[in-house]
A and B are shown apart, each in its own frame.
Chain A
Amino acid sequence: MRILTALSRRAARLVTLALLVASATFFLSSLIPGDFFSVQESDPSISRQTVERMRRQHGLDRSLWVQYALWLRSCIFLDFGDSLFYRRPVRSVVLEALANTLWMGIPALMLGLAAGMLLGVMHAVYRNRSIGLAFDLISSAALALPTLVLGLAALLFAARTEWFPLGSMNSLSLQDPGFLEWLANRIHHLLLPVGCLSVPIIAYVERIECAAAQEALLQPYVRAARARGLPRRRILLDYVARPALNPVLSVSGPLFGNVLSGSLVLEVMFAWPGLGQATYDALFNLDLPLVIGCVVGSTLLLVVGNMCADALLLILDPRTRIRTGDAR
């Protein structure tokens, strides 16, 4: 029940946040000189009247405040207008792009969390050996490497060796594939971007997990478990790794932020038709309804991700429920 109240409070905040972001983007976008149809004005084959008619059709001839009021009214029904470039509802364009971003983001997060936790516990266990020092070095180097640099390195690597396909989500040569063949092709396309996206996450999670596991290793319950003769694997999994879940999950905010920003850069770099690519294209086409839709979509994605992490934390770690009775 507590989980539900905490989550519903979060959801109310989420709606406010999305509305604020959308409004800010709306007014910011009014600063741009010209609009979507400015390009066609300079095209001699389209008459001035046609351009004006198109502007009127999309309501671009009205004053800013009227446009804002109309836009706000349709927002209540989750309708963000039509994309001027794709001539489709913004909602469907954004949802499609969002799904593509998740194709990249979720595997990267999974890989980052799993590998980071595993390495973190190993780091804590082997702390005083030379492996521990290697871990120290590699993780600090990996934290310093931004996704942009990693992505470029991956591009250079792929172009040199030609082991990986570059650009888009599936090969064009794939005619009429079976599901397995399609999946294998998709994974082949995903390997490099997901790898680049997960490196900073692995390093970050590893750092936090290592610190938490070190603390857990000193706890009396671990010594008691060892004294009872429990197998080593069980001690590490249930007595060391599990209490260390909390610090990892409670930093999900910066983690998701990093993944979302990183995927924007990687999408542009690898021509992956996700949300970042959509935002980038929409900005250069001056397709403002789509820009606003994309910014709102990315905000929602981030906040919903954080909500999921909070809920997961409340479910997985009983201590958070007893102590505060509220979402963190």
Chain B
Amino acid sequence: MNPGTLVTRIARFLTIPLFLVALFSDFLSTNPPDRLDLNQCYAPPSRIHFRDPSGKFRWRPQVYRMEMTDIQLSRYGELTDQSYPLRFFPRGFPYRILGIIPSTRHFLGTDVEGIFHPWGTDGMGRDVFSRTLAGARTSLFVLIVGIVLYAFLGTAIGALAGMAGGWTSTVLMRMSEFVLALPALYLVLAARAMLPLDMSFGLTAFVTAALIAAVTWPPLALGVRGLILQLQNAGYTEAARAMGGSPWHILRRHMLPALAPFALAQTIAAAPLFILGDLILSFLNVGFQGSIPSWGTMLRSLTADPRVVTDFWWNAAPFGFVILTLFCLNSLAGPWRAARVSPLG
């Protein structure tokens, strides 16, 4: 077995934990993702100690509260008069598991909120670790809405063009060539900026996903149309037609099952585009707004203040997540992704 496939297999396997992290982000968080603390701007990652304030060794790891020692430079020191022991499953902020079951238990943390910041805090004192996980959830949401829209749009247009034939087919195929020839990101950016920016979370995700799907559907539609034209000549289709099956019946019972593997593979291959599109739009300030945690807005803060790069490097945490996610999703698509370049840059 060659290492290329080994890496691909590992990446595919890693997709599952990534999904789980996104699904259970609130459970894994140590702090509420949008909890502000202006006394803790750019606090460094908490250090874990095995000694209590009196210097005695303890098996239970503990952390100390960070206190600002230099307001201009945002330097911090540890307040060593009181320690906060780390424990599994402490009580914390209330949330709902998978959006349904109410709970206050978290995976790891201290009994008091706002002390333990595994990856430090950002410019508004928000916990980078919790925000990164919540950003994963945001991305997952956009991804799911996006691939559903993409699969629906591409299959519907392709199937219509393939079944109807004639001028309908010509118009639809011209349209897909037209969309292929457009500068994708310019249009998405312009269209998104022209729609109102302060929308609810769900609506923002929907609009972002819909805009990306609107410029990326042609490959799927073209492929589906080609397959349908082939299937029109298959023996079982002809038999169904001879027995008086309506086009809708033939499409549903005989064509869609045959199309499904191709459509599914194409859709999975398009999945990274939605993560990327959400990232770019949020980065360009036209995606998620305000306190909604998303990787794009977090990455944007890297360019906002030059000190973030040189001094407060922990704010770059979503960076690794983005690269890992895109690599995993790409490897998931496998050979269908073999030679394709993203239209979003």
List A residues at the B interface (Cβ < 8 Å). Answer: 17, 20-21, 25, 28-29, 31-33, 133, 136-137, 140-141, 143-149, 152-153, 155-156, 159-160, 200-201, 204, 207-208, 211, 251, 253-255, 257-265, 268-269, 276, 279-280, 283-284, 291, 294-295, 298-299, 301-303, 306
Contacts and interface: CB of A to CB of B under 8 A. Distances in A.
Contact of B183 (A29, A143, A261, A265): A261
Q: B7, B178, B299, B339 — which one has the most chain A CB atoms within 10 A of its CB?
A: B339
A136 B4 contact: yes
Interface in B230-271: none
A contacts with B: majority SS: helix
Given A261-B183, A262-B345, A152 B326 contact: no
A208 B339 contact: yes
Interface stretch (B17-25, B55-63, B149-157, B185-193): B185-193
A264 B319 CA distance: 20
Given A148-B283, A258-B342, A264-B186, A155 B2 contact: no
B92 to A, nearest CB: 31
B338 interface: yes
> Top 5 nearest A-B pairs by Cβ distance?
A262-B345, A261-B345, A261-B185, A136-B4, A283-B193
Contacts, number: 159
Interface size range of chain B in the complex: 35 or more
A276 B183 CA distance: 11
Interface string B159-191: 000000000000000000010111111110111
B contacts with A: majority SS: helix
B323 A144 contact: yes
Q: B180, B185, B283, B331 — which one has the most chain A CB atoms within 10 A of its CB?
A: B185
Given A28-B194, A265-B284, A265-B345, 17 more contacts: A28-B190, A136-B3, A144-B272, A145-B323, A146-B276, A149-B323, A149-B326, A155-B309, A159-B306, A258-B342, A258-B345, A259-B345, A261-B183, A261-B185, A265-B283, A283-B194, A302-B182
A254 B4 contact: no
Nearest to A162: B310
B4 A133 contact: yes
A80 to B, nearest CB: 15
A8 B259 CA distance: 38
A28 B194 CA distance: 7
